[in-house]
Structure 1
Amino acid sequence: MEKELLRQLDLWHEQDQFGLIIERIQRIPESERDDELIGQLARAFNNEGRYREAVQQLLYVNGQGASDPLWHYRLGYAYYHMARYEQALQAFEMADELSPHDESTIEFLGWVRPKAEKMQRDRQHHEEKRFALEQSGTMNHLRAASGTYAPATFWEQSEYALESYVSPPFDEDLIVSIEQELGYKLPASYIQLMNTQNGGIPACTAFPTEAATSWAEDHIAISGILGIGRDKSNTLAGEFGSRFMIEEWGYPDLGIVICDCPSAGHDVVMLDYRFCGPEGEPAVVHVDQEDDYEITYLAPHFEAFIRGLVDADTMDLSDEEVED
């Protein structure tokens, strides 16, 4: 029976029928799944883009997989697509140690090493930014104006915003259900801003950056901020919401897509939970599909991102002055 099942699973794998593999293995009670079946399930989850579930399966047999290069390779593959590059590097290095000269492993090592180094720099930068903000004592969860943030004039009113972004007020049950669906706790400052208006287009849509992106040399631009809801297309759990961008557009599963951008899906702004865990206070990053999903660090938390938004015309004027 088991040999026949494994032959069937291999056939489905060759036919890219990964959903059938998942469905078939999940019909087997967990207590009856051996390491081979769990590995097959993890591989199918990876091929379906369900990387968190792949990691969960692989870590379930952590002890047994310690000497298996394929186990480490699959773990590295999942971590790589979650942009957890430091952990991916450790996994691929172990796979290479256990099975030297494997071409796929060596290829991934070439991709992941520079990304892991950049992630280490971003982590240090993140800690420095958080410490500076904590010492300043200026953060107040968006209760008052400061910097470029003015509550009374933050949102731009338009028919398009009302049609695509702005959702009705939410309750605690909706917050809990969306957090469960996305797998992350929403920041308090984000929830507070959504209480002023549940999603929409801000008046200021540019955020200065320290590094160039595909959008500009010194800033990124957003189209709108996704609200807490499911009914409007541009909401956290809507038609073009966070899971859609991760599962259909291939964005790394590092957190929650919180803003869309003028490129119509080719770059986004995300809440990044890699440094804090799913219950912590996420950083804010820009992810650029056009540059191999390059991650650009923006702000240590959502409030700092909102307070850092500036008028796009100001940035455009700055760019023109540089060109002149």
Structure 2
Amino acid sequence: MSEELLEQLEEWHEEDEFEEIVDAIMEIPEEERDYVLISHLGRAMNNLERYDEAVELFLSIQDEGKDDPLWHYRIGLAYYYLDRYEDARRAFEVADHLEPGDEDTLEFLEWIRSKTAPKPAEQPIVMSHADPDVLNFWDDRALAADQYTSAPPSDDLIESVEEALVFKLPASYIQAMKLHNGGIPRNRKFPIGDGAQEYIEISGILGIGRDKKKSLCGSLGSRYMIESGGYPEIGVVICDCPSASEVVMLDYRSSGNDGEPEVVHVDKANDYKITRLATNFDAFLGGLS
């Protein structure tokens, strides 16, 4: 195996050209693919969300990978996105033992604990036309409210925005936006961690549309914030924050583009740290205080 090929594989990986990696390695006869090449192939399969194939590849080099923290991390990632949380936990725990303190490994372990730990029932906000709290939720007198708030979206507009974003918006989000399409909530803090003083703060919630600057497809909307801020391509930005280095996003990594996304906070100033806030949009609204 040439150094030139390895350099090319790494270059493709950095450029997100994962199909190129798969095609190049698959052209090499199977009997000539060593541990390094199969590791590259498995990583590319993970990045292409072909997790079942990735697991098969990593298991084929299990003996060679037993002392390699990257092998355990990569197969753990595949297990995680296949919802095989116990297999993923074991893999990440070994990775952490072999390379203690790796932030990505610890983050996956925390996500697994969050997904598998018993949780009290979350009480979502149900916004109905008959509910007087709908009006009390929003601060329409705020100076910047007009940058966010649009008329209720039509079904055609919702469909076209979803097509542009490449993600299906949660039903609870659509329901809320049909009642009040974006704006500035009166309560804008969401608690994180165990300390009473720990919270993130949002500036507003982006509505469904294009005309307002701070709507999902507006000039300062989701795609603009992701591209200009270098945020991870994990879903849709639904809230901006007082700090220009923070956003709140719908995270589709576990659910797929058509599933029910979690709500996360992304901190650009802290190496794009992702903190899970709520299991769904309703629970996020219910947690604002």
Q: If the TM-score is normalised by the length of the shorter chain, which range does it land in?
A: 0.5 to 0.7
Counterpart-to-counterpart distance in 2, 1:258 and 1:275: 18
Letter in 2 for 1:111: E
Counterpart-to-counterpart distance in 2, 1:78 and 1:34: 27
Counterpart-to-counterpart distance in 1, 2:5 and 2:154: 44
Please list, as runs of the form range in 1=range in 2, the aligned pairs for 1:1-324 lying within 5 A after superposition.
10-13=6-9, 18-19=14-15, 21=17, 54-57=47-50, 59-60=52-53, 62-68=55-61, 69=65, 72=71, 75=74, 106-107=98-99, 110-123=102-115, 127-130=119-122, 133=123, 140-145=126-131, 149-151=133-135, 154-157=138-141, 160-163=144-147, 165-167=148-150, 169-180=152-163, 182=165, 184-209=167-192, 211-212=194-195, 217-230=197-210, 232-238=212-218, 240-242=220-222, 249=229, 251=231, 255-265=235-245, 267-273=246-252, 278-310=257-289
Structure 1 residue 175 displacement after superposition: 2.9
Counterpart-to-counterpart distance in 2, 1:279 and 1:247: 22
Counterpart-to-counterpart distance in 2, 1:240 and 1:259: 11
CA contact (8 A) 2:52 2:78 kept: no
Letter in 2 for 1:305: F
**Unmatched segments (≥5 aa) in structure 1:** 46-51, 97-103, 311-324
CA contact (8 A) 2:206 2:216 kept: yes
Q: If each structure's helix is expressed as a fraction of its own residues, which one has the higher value?
A: 1
* CA shift digits 1:101-153 (9 cap, x unpaired): xxx994477434543443244335674233xx3xxxx753444447xx43266
- Tell me which of the two structures has the higher relative contact order, counting C-alpha pairs closer than 8 angstroms and 6 or more residues apart: 1
- Structure 1 vs Structure 2 CA RMSD: 4.9
Give the TM-score, by structure 2 length: 0.64
Structure 2 CA distance for partners of 1:155 and 1:173, relative to 1, 3 Å: same
Counterpart-to-counterpart distance in 2, 1:90 and 1:194: 41
Describe the SS at the equivalent of 2:120: helix
Counterpart-to-counterpart distance in 2, 1:39 and 1:230: 43
CA contact (8 A) 1:254 1:272 kept: yes
Structure 1 residue 186 displacement after superposition: 1.9
**Which deviates further from its counterpart, 120-129 or 190-199?**
120-129
Counterpart-to-counterpart distance in 2, 1:57 and 1:185: 21
CA contact (8 A) 2:210 2:218 kept: yes
Counterpart-to-counterpart distance in 2, 1:40 and 1:105: 23
Counterpart-to-counterpart distance in 1, 2:203 and 2:151: 20
Structure 2 CA distance for partners of 1:90 and 1:170, relative to 1, 3 Å: farther
Structure 1 residue 223 displacement after superposition: 0.7
Letter in 2 for 1:262: P
Give the TM-score, by structure 1 length: 0.59
Structure 2 CA distance for partners of 1:157 and 1:302, relative to 1, 3 Å: same
* CA shift digits 1:60-103 (9 cap, x unpaired): 454344223499468459779x9x99676555568x6xxxxxxx
Counterpart-to-counterpart distance in 2, 1:261 and 1:85: 34
Letter in 1 for 2:126: N
Structure 2 CA distance for partners of 1:22 and 1:168, relative to 1, 3 Å: farther
Structure 1 residue 232 displacement after superposition: 4.6
What is the number of equivalent residue pairs in this alignment? 275
Q: Percent identity?
A: 38
CA contact (8 A) 2:92 2:108 kept: no
